Homo-oligomer: A and B are copies of this chain.
Amino acid sequence: MLNKINTVKDHLMGAKEKRGRYKEDFRREILNSARELFINEGYEKFSMRGLAKKIDYSPTTIYLYFKDKDDLLIAICEEVAEQFLANLSRIRAHPSKPLEALRQAMLYFIEFAFDNPNQYKVFFLTRPNVYGTQEEFMERESMARNSYLEFRKIVQECIGAGKLRRMDIDVLTQVLATATHGLIAITTYHKNFPWADRKVLAITLVDGLLRGFQK
In the complex, chain B residues whose CB is within 8 Å of the CB of A132 = 192
Q: How many subunits of this chain does the assembly comprise?
A: 2
Tell me which of B133, B184, B205 contacts A175 (CB under 8 A).
B205
- Distance (Å) between the CB of A138 and the closest chain B CB? 6
Contact B183 A185 (CB under 8 A): no
* A67 lies within 8 A of chain B by Cβ: no
Contact A201 B181 (CB under 8 A): no
* A94 lies within 8 A of chain B by Cβ: no
**Closest B residue to A182 using CB positions:** B182
**Closest B residue to A185 using CB positions:** B185
Which chain A residues in 153-201 approach chain B with CB under 8 Å?
A: 167-168, 170-172, 174-175, 178-187, 189-196, 200-201
- Known contacts: A194-B137, A194-B138. The answer to whether A178 contacts B186 by CB under 8 A is yes
Interface stretch of the complex, out of A13-21, A56-64, A120-128:
A120-128
Tell me which of B187, B191, B200, B210 contacts A178 (CB under 8 A).
B187
User: DSSP class of A's interface residues: helix, strand, loop or mixed?
Assistant: helix
In the complex, chain B residues whose CB is within 8 Å of the CB of A209 = 179, 208-209, 212
- Give the interface size bracket for A toward B: 35 or more
Cα A175 to Cα B184 with chains together (Å): 11
* A131 lies within 8 A of chain B by Cβ: yes
Tell me which of B134, B172, B181, B186 contacts A194 (CB under 8 A).
B134
Given A124-B189, A208-B212, output 16 extra A-B contacts at Cβ < 8 Å: A44-B127, A125-B125, A127-B189, A129-B192, A137-B193, A138-B194, A174-B196, A175-B204, A175-B205, A178-B205, A179-B180, A179-B183, A181-B182, A185-B185, A211-B211, A212-B213
